[in-house]
Amino acid sequence: MSNRRVVVTGIGVISPVGTGIEKFWSSLLEGQSGIGPITRFDASELTTRIAGEVKDFQVENYIDKKEARRMDLFTQYAVAGAKMAVEDSGMDLSQVDLNRMGVILGSGIGGIETFEDQCKVLLNKGPNRVSPFMVPMMIVNMAAGQISIHLGAKGPNITVVSACASGTNAVGDAFKLIQRGDADIVISGGTEASITPLAFSGFCAMRALSTRNDEPTKASRPFERDRDGFVMGEGSAILILESLEHAQNRGAQIYSEILGYGSTADAHHITAPAPEGEGAARAMDMAINDAGLKPSQIDYINAHGTSTELNDKFETLAIKQVFGEAVSQVLISSTKSMTGHLLGAAGALELAATSLALKHGQIPPTINYENPDPELDLDYVPNVKREKEIKFALSNSLGFGGHNATVVLGKYSE
């Protein structure tokens, strides 16, 4: 059996720059930052006191309030995003074979808010007061489980945990599941809600976060000379993936076609990327080869672009290694400059942005690009969106532990 074509037909987004694809996409094109002072908890003693919080999410618009109280925030984001994506796809779930609909979701940290809250209960009130819902609220697979429960999806149900590559790995795995004929529809993407005291303290202790507390909207500055760390974000991005035949049979709109997937390991260090970005380069090579393309055919890269010293340097070196002389023709941007870094949901959010870029012929900018780094000399689409028809694009994600994932997307054409 030949490989089936796979397309993206629905998108649901909950992000620091807006909930819903219209608000999300317009904010990216306008270069609006979603970064501000932390309001969730008292961050006054932390070295970093800024984050990309979701500001416009009303859970009762998507989930019954009683049910929502039994879900960690990362699960609420996932279920709401999935319902938005299904609605956006125009799919009538009563008319599809739910045994052929799967869920593959990525999350790096899962229910950390529940974990922290119940630790306080244990220490302050004793073990008999710990909630019976603690475990099913906290475990990382529960977002995928709740999506299947709410939407009736009875196909493969899997959660990918590969740190900041989780969302991209999830979509890549979903692509392969449909391509080989094991499902017709997969609800895929990533979700994260880790703006909590413990998680934040851990990242601060690593000195991984920007300390530009007095200029929050300028703190995330990928590929720029004065970058000083990433900014944590939260939210979810859910994509509806379908076989092309299934999408055509129901007259679905199509955002983009998924063409290739690459996944590699650095086998190098728990947090630092491999020297010269060689692991990331292999993931890009693998994805481009899987798509049957040459690097010179790629028009746009939505980069991992975290705004950390080593990531941005080594990702640039990896791109140069893969693209060779063609590197001067490819446009690169990091939407993390606006959304912050959604950790396990980042790759999915960026694949949503890449799909929209392909559909609309517009490339979101890398904002806060004021002082070029002499070592990083590619076209990072600084500060202002770029109008350009894109035929092929790729999105990169790199995670702690040495996880690298790349997905290649194409403008849909019959």
Predicted confidence pLDDT, tens digits, the chain (414 residues): 468 999 999 999 999 999 999 999 999 999 999 999 999 999 999 999 999 999 999 999 999 999 999 999 999 999 999 999 999 999 999 999 999 999 999 999 999 999 999 999 999 999 999 999 999 999 999 999 999 999 999 999 999 999 999 999 999 999 999 999 999 999 999 999 999 999 999 999 999 999 999 999 999 999 999 999 999 999 999 999 999 999 999 999 999 999 999 999 999 999 888 888 899 999 999 999 999 999 999 999 999 999 999 999 999 999 999 999 999 999 999 999 999 999 999 999 999 999 999 999 999 999 999 999 999 999 999 999 999 999 999 999 999 999 999 999 999 988
pLDDT of 271 reads 86
66 vs 75: CA distance, rounded Å: 14
Helices (H), 291-361: 309-323, 336-339, 346-360
Q: Which residue has the tokens 């995670």?
A: 399
**Catalytic-labelled residue, pool 164, 204, 246, 403:** 164
pLDDT of 357 reads 98
pLDDT of 1 reads 47
Q: Is 114 helix (H, G, I), strand (E, B) or coil?
A: helix
**Catalytic-labelled residue, pool 204, 246, 341, 403:** 341
Q: Where in the chain is the domain with CATH 3.40.47.10?
A: 6-249, 260-410
Tell whether pTM > 0.85.
yes
The secondary structure element, H or E, covering residue 327 is none
Q: Is 304 marked active-site?
A: yes
Residue 227, burial from CB neighbour count under 10 angstroms (0-12, 13-18, 19+)? buried
pLDDT of 276 reads 86
42 vs 84: CA distance, rounded Å: 32
Closest Cα partner for 300 from 389, 239, 202, 227? 389
The answer to whether the beta carbons of residues 220 and 35 sit under 8 Å apart is yes
260-410 CATH = 3.40.47.10
Q: Is 403 marked active-site?
A: no
Q: Domain spanning 6-249: which superfamily?
A: Thiolase/Chalcone synthase (3.40.47.10)
Residue 249, burial from CB neighbour count under 10 angstroms (0-12, 13-18, 19+)? exposed
pLDDT of 312 reads 96
Strands 392-399 and 300-302: parallel
Helices (H), 106-261: 112-125, 134-138, 142-151, 166-179, 197-205, 244-249
Closest Cα partner for 169 from 261, 255, 306? 261
**Catalytic-labelled residue, pool 268, 304, 360, 403:** 304
